[in-house]
């Protein structure tokens, strides 16, 4: 065994109800995608022979393999971060380092604990991944290669999350740095794929595979999912060549990260950054006459004068102390600057891509370049940055509440004169201020296609308002989850998972709709399972702990309205319909979470803990 930490996790994990719930939920999600695609295919064309089934098998495999990779990549990174940050938030990591456990036992135990969650979900859906092989068009080697690449990616992302969490003290810093690293990693693979990196050709290969497929697991698994693999006559590995090469690179990266964590564990922990405090005594000789304070105070050593107990003069505070702390202090550490700089570098790469698209298609954007394509190239470049910005805002929002609880400051806040309005709006405005780059940069990016004629002024205004509504929604969602969940790990996982699955579900539905275009009425019946499943999952995430009619209504109405907005977007020339649907639905969802928080102002303490949070 790896060590006692991993042994404890293997003994405790099967006793938790969410261990089995995670298996069932992920399995139902993948099965819903298969069922929806089959219903759409049967409605568009009759399935008459084995060739039609084989084409359906290839289509399903190309949907499931990337979907599984994205979900488990996110789950692995989050599991690695929370496995370590949970110990730091509870201040128990220092106790582990005081025991006889070696560095390798602590690091490998925590990485193994995170991998248990991700591999639990992967093994539950593995039979469905091999199901297309029975329909034809997909070989067993392709399915096994996809599973191998996915497993290697999970190990790498979990190792990355644990390494960053061992390094950084704040939970938000660990989550943000991990997500930024994954985003830059995937963006680098896409840049190499399209030949945007000087000195590296998109078709350059070491022996067999292009460089982008070796670096990016997305490109590797997409190459594996192709119905006719590339010729492998010069390779002794045959179909396994891509999986073996990509997995070797990914596993080498995981080993290096775990080795770095083992070497630096006791250097990074406990944290040696401490706030500087003014000296208690001064070395200057006492020349001033003694004051009443000096007489009443304890005598100082000979030749030294007592200095003031204050390290600095007090600063004036606003009427809302919560907002003042968020905006005028380093509440989340000074390393947030590193996150901002990394995000701006990623945004600069996206802006460069938008300028390249605009310059190449400047004369065609307004006339036919944007009309002939269902999804414009600029949208495919900008959308990942927008989603990533919303995830970071949500991560900071949920941590803004969980940090107060873990530090024991929440109990003190609730016995002061601070009202619910001060707390909720102070947190919302404070999070949006700290994350102002994530709010403003995507809006500024919209002016690039608008300047070159690819986006009308009306649609520009619609997009800006919709982005602001989504920013407030994800911020309120994070605060809501932080308030209703007692365990920080459960709150962070639920909040980030809700946002991630929301946008991943939108992307999956859009991909399926692009394959089978049709009216809203024809699309509604096949997607009914996904809509109902999404509503049930949303209710269990945000409404199970504090049920209310508004939250129940928004839980089941939001997936339906989102589906209606996607369909209207695909059918084109319905921008006002899409805008009004998105703004009204997500604004109502925000109000459904905001009003109970302002009126009740209740937090989940020990009396509100559920059994699965133990």
pLDDT at 363 over 50: no
Lowest mean pLDDT among 27-31, 161-165, 324-328, 608-612: 608-612
| Gap between the Cα atoms of 113 and 94, Å rounded | 18
Confidence (pLDDT) at 371: 38
Mean per-residue pLDDT over the chain, rounded:
79
Output 546 or 495, whichever has higher pLDDT: 495
What does the H/E/C string look like for 33-97? HHHHHHHHHHHHCCCCCHHHHHHHHHHHHHHHHHHHHHHHHHHHHHHHHHHHHHHHHCCCHHHHH
Percent of the chain with pLDDT over 70: 80
Q: How many Cα atoms occupy the beta-carbon half-sphere of 573 within 13 Å?
A: 2
Distances (CA, A) of 386 to 149, 381, 446: 27, 10, 11
Confidence of residue 275 (pLDDT cuts 50, 70, 90): very low
pLDDT at 96 over 90: no
Q: Are 55 and 531 in contact (CB under 8 A)?
A: no
pLDDT at 545 over 60: yes
| Gap between the Cα atoms of 459 and 436, Å rounded | 23
Concatenated DSSP letters for 218-248? HHHHHHHTSSSPPP-TT-TTGGGHHHHHHHH
Average pLDDT over residues 186-199: 73
| Gap between the Cα atoms of 151 and 76, Å rounded | 10
Output 428 or 212, whichever has higher pLDDT: 428
Tokens of 449: 């296609």
Lowest mean pLDDT among 104-113, 276-285, 446-455, 567-576: 276-285
- Greatest mean pLDDT among 27-36, 97-106, 202-211, 365-374: 97-106
pLDDT at 558 over 60: yes
Average pLDDT over residues 469-485: 92
pLDDT at 88 over 80: yes
- Give 422's contacts (C-beta < 8 A, 6+ positions apart): 320, 321, 322, 323
Q: What's the pLDDT tens digit per position in 481-513?
A: 988 888 888 888 888 888 988 888 888 877 777
Q: Left, alpha or beta for 572 (phi > 0: left; psi -120 to 50: alpha)?
A: left
Output 361 or 558, whichever has higher pLDDT: 558
Confidence of residue 13 (pLDDT cuts 50, 70, 90): confident
pLDDT at 21 over 80: no
Angle between helices 528-542 and 549-571 (to 10 degrees): 140
Tokens of 549: 């009619």
pLDDT at 229 over 80: no
pLDDT at 44 over 70: no
Confidence of residue 156 (pLDDT cuts 50, 70, 90): very high
Q: Are 139 and 237 in contact (CB under 8 A)?
A: no
Distances (CA, A) of 177 to 69, 154, 163, 480: 20, 17, 11, 23
Average pLDDT over residues 427-447: 92
Confidence (pLDDT) at 285: 42
pLDDT at 277 over 80: no
- Give 382's contacts (C-beta < 8 A, 6+ positions apart): 350, 354, 442, 445, 446
Decide: pTM greater than 0.85.
no
Confidence of residue 256 (pLDDT cuts 50, 70, 90): very high
Confidence (pLDDT) at 607: 43
| ∠ Cα 565 569 575 (to 5°) | 90
Report the run of H or E that residue 601 belongs to, with start and end.
none
Is the previous residue joined to 270 through a cis bond, with omega within 30 degrees of 0? Answer: yes
Closest CA to 78 of 109, 111, 114, 108: 114
Instruction: Return the SS3 of 210.
Output: strand
Output 291 or 594, whichever has higher pLDDT: 594
Confidence of residue 163 (pLDDT cuts 50, 70, 90): very high
pLDDT at 126 over 70: yes
Confidence (pLDDT) at 208: 40
Q: What's the pLDDT tens digit per position in 524-533?
A: 667 777 888 8
Confidence of residue 31 (pLDDT cuts 50, 70, 90): confident
Average pLDDT over residues 398-425: 84
Domain extent listing, the chain: 4-268, 322-613
Confidence (pLDDT) at 127: 86
* Dihedral sign from CA coordinates of 223, 225, 230, 235: positive
pLDDT at 319 over 90: no
Closest CA to 111 of 79, 152, 136: 79
Concatenated DSSP letters for 377-388? HHHHHHHHHHHH
Closest CA to 145 of 239, 10, 21, 19: 239
């Amino acid at each position: 065994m790896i060590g006692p930490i991993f042994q404890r996790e293997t003994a405790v994990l099967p006793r938790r109800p969410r261990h089995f719930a995670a298996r069932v939920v992920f399995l139902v999600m993948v099965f819903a995608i298969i069922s929806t695609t089959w219903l759409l295919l049967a409605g568009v064309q009759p399935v008459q022979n084995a060739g039609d089934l084989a084409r359906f098998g290839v289509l399903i495999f190309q949907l499931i393999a990337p979907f599984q990779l994205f979900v488990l990549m996110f789950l692995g990174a989050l599991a690695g971060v929370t496995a370590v940050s949970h110990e730091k938030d509870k201040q128990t990591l220092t106790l582990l380092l005081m025991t006889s456990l070696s560095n390798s036992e602590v690091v490998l135990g925590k990485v193994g604990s995170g991998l248990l969650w991700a591999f639990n979900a992967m093994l539950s859906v593995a039979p469905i991944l091999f199901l297309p092989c029975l329909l034809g068009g997909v070989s067993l080697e392709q399915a096994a290669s996809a599973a191998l690449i996915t497993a290697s990616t999970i190990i790498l992302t979990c190792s990355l999350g644990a390494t960053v969490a061992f390094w950084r003290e704040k939970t938000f810093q660990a989550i943000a740095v991990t997500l930024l690293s994954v985003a830059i990693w995937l963006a680098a693979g896409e840049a190499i794929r399209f030949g945007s990196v000087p000195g590296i050709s998109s078709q350059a290969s070491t022996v067999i595979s292009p460089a982008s497929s070796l670096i990016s697991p997305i490109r590797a698994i997409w190459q594996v999912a192709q119905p006719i693999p590339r010729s492998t006559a010069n390779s002794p590995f045959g179909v396994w060549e891509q999986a073996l090469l990509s997995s070797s690179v990914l596993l080498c990266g995981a080993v290096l990260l775990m080795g770095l964590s083992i070497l630096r564990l006791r250097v990074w922990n406990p944290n040696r950054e401490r706030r500087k405090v003014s000296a208690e005594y001064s070395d200057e000789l006492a020349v001033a006459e003694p004051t009443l304070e000096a007489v009443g105070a304890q005598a100082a050593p000979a030749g030294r004068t007592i200095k003031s107990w204050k390290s600095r003069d007090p600063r004036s505070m606003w009427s809302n102390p919560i907002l003042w702390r968020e905006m005028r202090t380093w509440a989340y550490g000074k390393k947030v600057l590193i996150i901002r700089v990394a995000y701006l570098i990623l945004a600069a790469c996206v802006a460069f891509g938008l300028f390249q698209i605009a310059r190449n298609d400047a004369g065609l954007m307004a006339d036919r370049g944007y009309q002939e394509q269902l999804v414009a190239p600029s949208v495919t470049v900008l959308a990942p940055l927008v989603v990533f910005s919303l995830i970071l805002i949500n991560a900071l929002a949920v941590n803004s509440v969980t940090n107060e609880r873990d530090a024991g400051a929440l109990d003190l806040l609730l016995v002061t004169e601070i009202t619910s309005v001060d707390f909720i709006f102070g947190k919302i405005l404070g999070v949006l201020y700290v994350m102002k780059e994530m709010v403003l940069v995507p809006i500024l990016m919209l002016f690039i296609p608008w300047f070159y004629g690819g986006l009308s002024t009306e649609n520009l205004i619609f997009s800006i308002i919709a982005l602001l509504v989504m920013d407030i929604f994800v911020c309120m969602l994070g605060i809501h989850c932080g308030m209703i969940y007692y365990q920080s790990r459960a709150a962070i996982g639920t909040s980030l998972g809700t946002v991630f699955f929301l946008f991943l579900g939108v992307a999956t539905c859009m991909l399926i709709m692009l394959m089978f275009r049709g009216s809203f009425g024809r699309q509604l019946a096949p997607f009914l399972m996904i809509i109902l499943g999404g509503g049930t999952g949303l209710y269990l995430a945000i409404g199970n702990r504090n049920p209310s009619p508004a939250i129940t209504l928004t839980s089941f109405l939001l997936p339906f309205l989102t589906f209606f907005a996607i369909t209207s977007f695909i059918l084109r020339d319905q921008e006002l319909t899409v805008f009004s649907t998105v703004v009204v639905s997500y604004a109502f969802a925000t109000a459904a979470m905001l009003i109970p928080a302002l009126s009740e102002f209740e937090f989940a303490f020990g009396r509100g803990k559920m059994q699965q949070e133990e």
